[in-house]
Amino acid sequence: MSQSPQYWIVVASKDHVLRGVSGGFMQANHGKQAPLKRMKPGDWVIFYSPKQVLEGDQKCQAFTAIGQLIDDTIYQVTVSENFSPFRRNVTFHASSDVSILPLIDELDFISNKKSWGYPFRIGFFEIDKHDFELISNGMLNK
């Protein structure tokens, strides 16, 4: 009997998310291995982008990609002399960006609606099926 999938949010700037989508991989929390170990094949991951570009000031405030983990493999790549992030393979689905702003009041993982950005400060966290469906329906059905 297969285990039900879990649902995850990863926070990253949109430019970084798009690199992962084009390469079929994901990273979390600046390439740390620990978050990736919590995930299993078949789990869903939604990427939230607070900004368009990591070093920029332009807000994005949208869910920018959605995909499913393919396998158990966690691997490390050398991006530069000082950066060797851990990654996992993801099958990304065609999707549209969805602004978080109209969803804030309905999302269970945002307990304090006035400080709605607070949960994203962790960079990686699990959400329930209700929140996953609320976000993914907007992303996948446009």
- Please give the pLDDT value at position 104: 97
The full set of domain ranges for the chain reads: 7-140
For residue 119, what pLDDT is reported? 95
State both tokens at 28: 């979390």
Q: In the CATH hierarchy, which fold is given to the domain comprising 7-140?
A: ph1033 like fold (3.10.590)
pLDDT score of 141: 67
Q: DSSP class of residue 52?
A: S
Q: What is the pLDDT of residue 3?
A: 78
Please tell me the pTM assigned to this model. 0.94
- Per-residue CA distances from 61 to 48, 76, 77 (Å): 7, 29, 28
Residues of the chain with pLDDT under 50: 1
3-state SS class at 139: helix
CB proximity list for 92: less than 8 A, separation 6 or greater: 20, 21, 24, 65, 66, 67
- Predicted confidence at residue 56, as pLDDT, reads 86
For residues 45 and 67, the answer to whether their CB atoms sit within 8 Å is yes
